[in-house]
Each structure stands twice: as C-alpha cells, then as structure tokens.
Structure 1
C-alpha cells in the first residue's frame, strides 16, 4: 500500500522527518557509538526469553483454530531408514479423503487421473470452466519435503486453485525420496512441461506450488531456461523451500512459533538430506536461492508471519526484484507454514484470489 493511499500528505514529509531526526538524534548517535564499539568484537546470538504466544484477534474465526493449534505430534521424529520414510509418506495421506471430497464438492471441481510425459498426474477442472480460461493451463507441484503427500492428497492444492481460481490444473505426482532422490522430482517436472509444450502455448501456462512445490517450481523454470525451453508466463511459489541447508533468519526466529513445520531440526531437515542424496545442498537446482534469477517469469509469493520459511520467501522475492522481475509478495497474519492452504477460511479464499488475479493478468 502506498503512502498516499494511507492518507499521507507528501508536503509534510520534510517536517515529519526533520522533527523525528531532531527528536531521535541523541539516541541514534548513542546507538551508533555503541555499534562502532562492538564492531571489533564477534557478533553473538541473543537469548530470547520464553513467553506465551497468544492467538491474535486479527485473523478470522476459522483461522484462529489453526493458528492456536498445538504443535503436531511427530514433528521431531526423524525416520531412521527408507522403510520408515515410506511409512511416514503413507501416513501423510491417510484421512484426507473426506476433506478432498469436500473441496471437490464445495468448489465444483472434477478430478481425473492421467499420464503426461510418462509421469502420473491429476487433472482438476472447475465446473463451469470460464471461457476466458479454456485455453489456459496451470501446472502444480505439491509440497511435503520431496518425501510426503503422494497421490491424490498431493493434488489438494491444485483442486483449490481450480475451485477458487477457475483454472484447469495439472498436478504432477512426481517421484519422491528416499527411493528417488534428486533429480527424480525435477526430471518428472521437466518431462511433464516438455509434453505440455507440445500441445499448449507457454504464454497461456503458469506454474505454482507450495513449500517443496514452490522450490520445485523455481528449479523447474531454471532448468527449463538452461535447456532452452519456453518458460511459463508466470509462477506462484508459495512459501518456497529454496534453501535446503536451513539458512535464513526465520528458520531460527520462528522456531517453535511455527506450529506446522515447528523446527528445521525435525523431519524437515532430514528430508532435505535424503532428497539431495549425494548432491550438495547448495546446488541451485536443489536450493534455488543460489541460482540465477535473470529472466524468470513474473511471480507472486505467499507466506505468513509465523512461517518457518518466511525468510526463504522474502529472500526469493528480493532476488526476483533485484533481477528486475515483476514479483508480488503477500504475507498473512499469524499463519505458520503453508496455512494459507487451509480449506474454507476467508484467508485461503483471499490468498487464492490474489494468486489467480496475478496469474490472470500475465497469461495470454
């Protein structure tokens, strides 16, 4: 929001800033002196006192229950072997059937299975499909640390985009770790993209996904660019996992504040290692934050103030802006990781509305 749209009077800028400078000058000089005095000393971490974290009344009633939920059971239980990872992946999809059915029914979405480029996919089509979107197509990559949410449950976000945005969506059921580490997921994403390019105009296609799906979205367009393939008209990485080494301020600042991922020291950090396999976590196609953002498509990014990966999101936004890319950022109040995907809350409808409008402006 611009200053003018908040009722800011530009003619008062000099007076306001000048008065503030006079008022705070002694304090600023003192702080500057202290900073210079500390400059020669090693910079250390600060201890943060333990405190209660209230549920703010600045979110919808439906979202309050999500924000105030306890930490999920098992967040700190790291699978010890491939069999335990497979068991966790299977468990991640159990019990989702009724919710997925409700999404389809309430939002008017038809779900079909297909194979594109040799890769299994789920195709979500809204009923009715608006005439303006009949020649448009979105490609979706699900989250889950490249290890969880196989099958139909991984298409849930795609169904919501079809329902809220009224686009046809192809959700890619890519191969996952530990059985298929990097680059299997990326290979599947590229295979689907190449097959779709043979039948669709890239100017009428976009890519999106959340968490690992957001990271895979960025990795896919980077690899497509390297291979000389046409890029989608726009992308929408939600809370993208772009730094699998776990750097970034909110990895620490939002630890245990995020009631979704909770901490990088849980299963999510272990998922990074099994996905990368023998490759370095700094590989730009594994951690796209280290890649070249030049020439990437326009992007809209989504996160929440309590998201463990908020720093991944804002760092990606800054890299895009520094590369001259048209990039928008929406951050939702009090939400932890990927909670803008909670079905049937006002915040979720708003998030998808913003994403759909952004994509609609950039798709031919």
Structure 2
C-alpha cells in the first residue's frame, strides 16, 4: 500500500472529510501547484469534499452523520498502524477513555516522555478509535509514545465537556509523569484544545506542558480573519465557514459567547506559554486562525514557530503518507525532542 486513502485521515480534522468526492459547489478554479509533492498534488486535484455543506438539524442527525464517518475511517486504521510500526493499547486516564500508541522502535531518549493528542472534528466528529490517525502518524514518524484522549462530543456533550475531559487526562498524566516530560498536540479543533488546555492548566494552577504543537488550530469560532474570506472556495477540505463548520461551533458552544477564550483561544492571555510550533498551508481556510495565534504568541514573548506548507488546504498534512506528512511529523518529533526533558 503506497499511501493512506483520503477516506482514512480526513475524518480526524475539523472538516471530517471522509465525505465522498464530488462537490455541491465547485471551489474557485486554481491550477494545481507544481511546487508540491505528487501525493499532495493528487489531493489538490481531487476537488472538494461533497458533504462540506451538510447541516444536521437534530442531535440524532448529528450522531448518525458522525457514526457513518467514524465507521469508514476505523476500517483503515489497522493498516496504518501496521505500516508505521505502531501498537495500540486502550485504557482510562482521569476517568476518560484513552488509546495509547507506542512505536515498536521507541528511542531510548523518549522512554520517559509522553505526548497527549487531542483530535480534530469540530467537537462533533472523531469518536472512539476513528479519530486516532494523527496520533498513529506522530507515534510512527515522530517516535514518541502518544496518549489519545477520546473526549466527549457534542451535541450530547456541549461546552465545556471536551476540554474538561482533556484537562482530566492531563491531570492523570501528571500523576506519573512530570510536566517537563509532557507535550500536547492536535489538529484543527484539537489544535485549539491544545491552546485552551494550556490556558486552563494555568488557571487551575497546574504545571504547563513542556511544549505544545497546535496544527491549523480553530482559534476563533467566529468568522473573523482574512483567510475565512480569501480562501473560501480555495480550501478544498473545509470549503467555507458557512457549511457544517459554523453549525458545529454553535452546537458545541451551547449559547456561550463564541469569543470566550475557552472557546476561541486567540482572545486569551498567552503570556508565559511554553514553546509552541504551529502548522498551516497557503490554501487553508484556517490560515488566519493560525497566523493570528502565532503573532499573538510572539508578541507575548513566547518562543513560537510556524510552518506553512505550499498549496495545502486544511490539515492535508495528515491526509496521506506523503512527503509533507513525513516532514510535519518529523519536525514535531524534533521540536518535542528539543523541549521535553
């Protein structure tokens, strides 16, 4: 198997893109760049995901939609683990179900280090094992033991259930591992939760993780930021804020102010945050979410770096085993390796 199907990985990001291809509305016609890998060029040329404009109206419709995507994604995960040499264990930390992914060739330097992964999916998608592809790729390529938090999802569990669960897992990890040996990462919703967890840890007097890596984080749940408009119809994963994404924001927020920093961390106080590595792409609908967060961190004096991939739509860096994916997870491995004791 030369690569991992798009149907596998896209469910784990805020787009939940195990959707069948074939657009409801075509994106703006742009040429496929010649400056990306052939694998990424294939994803760019494939066109938009058809169900981006889905609008569930009841809890039952949200859950049925999420379950159908989860089932399709889960079928592909054993092959991904096998190819990357990653084992899987199940457990419970802090009362929250977790999946643990140790690489078969875990380096000695990382034996006492651990990474907490918070998955994407707009707070409504990625249930159970179905959201674990990013954790598997980080374990297999980045060579760290990864704990994946299977946090509760809306609509049954709106704000603050997801972040409460993430904090519970983090507290549980602190019982056995010093904070200076813990890193936190995630993509899209998981990227935002990585930042929010750090805000919550500080507010609750917990030691902060040694380093964090929010990938294309959903740092603003409102339609604020240049790329929500400039990259609308250019990003062939999310397509537009006005599809299912905006509905998911409201379902999870449950009437709370969408600009509350515990929902939109770009409005939070990030002073004294740990070293941070952010990732986005030039076609990413969340490019502004990412660069605004990067600038805010830098203005606060936080050592923060930013990777922007050429031609990449939202979170496509982990939609296939391609050079961009290898680079991303290798860079994360180096970053955590430098910053964790």
Establish whether TM, by shorter chain, passes 0.5.
Answer: yes
Aligned residue for 2:221?
A: 244
Residue from 219, 224, 230 that aligns with 2:201:
224
| Secondary structure, aligned partner of 1:236 | strand
Aligned length: 315
Aligned counterparts, 1:36-47, within 5 A: none
CA 1:51 to 1:313, structure 2 compared with 1: closer, same or farther past 3 Å?
closer
Aligned residue for 2:185?
A: 208
| Secondary structure, aligned partner of 1:275 | helix
Residue from 256, 259, 264 that aligns with 1:287:
264
Aligned counterparts, 1:192-341, within 5 A: 192-341=169-318
The structure with higher relative contact order (CA 8 Å, sep 6+) is 2
Aligned residue for 2:38?
A: 61
Aligned partners of 2:38, 2:101: CA distance in 1, in Å?
29
Aligned counterparts, 1:44-123, within 5 A: 52-123=29-100
| Secondary structure, aligned partner of 1:96 | helix
Aligned residue for 2:321?
A: 344
| Secondary structure, aligned partner of 2:72 | coil
Contact 2:54 2:244 in 1 (8 A): yes
| Secondary structure, aligned partner of 1:110 | coil
Q: CA RMSD in A?
A: 1.0
Contact 2:201 2:208 in 1 (8 A): yes
Contact 2:39 2:320 in 1 (8 A): no
Contact 1:103 1:343 in 2 (8 A): no
Asked if 1:163 is matched to 2:143, the reply is no
**Segments of 4+ in structure 1 off by > 6 A?**
none
| Secondary structure, aligned partner of 1:199 | coil
**TM-score (normalizing by structure 1):** 0.85
Q: Offset of 1:231 from its aligned partner? A: 0.6
**TM-score (normalizing by structure 2):** 0.91
Q: Offset of 1:282 from its aligned partner? A: 1.1
Q: Offset of 1:73 from its aligned partner? A: 1.2
Q: Which runs of 5+ in 2 are unaligned?
A: 1-26
Asked if 1:179 is matched to 2:156, the reply is yes
Q: Offset of 1:343 from its aligned partner? A: 2.8
Aligned partners of 2:71, 2:223: CA distance in 1, in Å?
28
Q: Greater CA radius of gyration, 1 or 2?
A: 1
Q: Offset of 1:70 from its aligned partner? A: 1.5
Contact 1:141 1:209 in 2 (8 A): yes
Contact 2:28 2:233 in 1 (8 A): no
Q: Which runs of 5+ in 1 are unaligned?
A: 1-49
